[in-house]
Amino acid sequence: MEEIKQIEFSKLRHAYITVKSFIENESADDLGSLKTKIVSDLGLTGDDNYFMLTKFIDKFELEYSDFEYDKHFHSETELYDSSAALYNLLVVSVWLPLKTIELLTLNMVHIPKPAFYQPARQVSDMTFRDLLTWYIEGKYIPEGNVKYAIKLH
């Protein structure tokens, strides 16, 4: 159930700027919106998102006991183990010539190409909004459990 909390505009603005700056510095990418995802939009996969989250928690002294990393992200091992690398190497050897044919025909010919390796386990990723909520609350709160309303004086 979503809880609506009152928050002062200045506190929300400070939190927004602080978390946005942190993520942009860590990812070297601009955040487009609160829905920007850590893996799919910013490309922070495996150890990159793990170290970014560790730094985020340490820098802002946040509680993380309720946070389940595996629910949101694949580990480095899941993404880049030797079998995945071998599979992707074989896929590239087929994919590249097929893509070259498409490009040479100015995309008039569309050839189905094999997909690159994706781990079987589904994960949810995290958004800028999730990290912003974590920062404001000081502890991890699952997505959609809290919403903020500007406190009027």
Residue 79: pLDDT band (50, 70, 90) is confident
Asked whether the whole model's pTM tops 0.85, one would answer: no
| Chain centre to alpha carbon of residue 141 | 16
Amino acid at 34: L
Q: Across residues 46-57, what is the average pLDDT?
A: 96
**Residue 78 has what pLDDT?**
87
Instruction: Annotate 19-47 with DSSP letters as a single string.
Output: HHHHHHHHHTS---STT-BTTTTT---TH
State whether the Cα torsion 87-117-77-80 is positive or negative: positive
% residues pLDDT > 90 (the chain): 80
Q: Which residues contact 45 (CB under 8 A, 6 or more apart)?
A: 39, 73, 74, 79
**Residue 74 has what pLDDT?**
92
**Cα-flanking dihedrals φ and ψ of residue 63, to 5°?**
-80, 135
Residue 131: pLDDT band (50, 70, 90) is very high
Cα–Cα nearest to 70, from 84, 92, 86, 49: 49
Residue pair 125/72 in contact (Cβ under 8 Å)? The answer is yes
Winning range, highest mean pLDDT, from 26-40, 51-65, 72-86, 108-122: 51-65
Given a cut of 80, whether residue 143 has pLDDT beyond it is: no
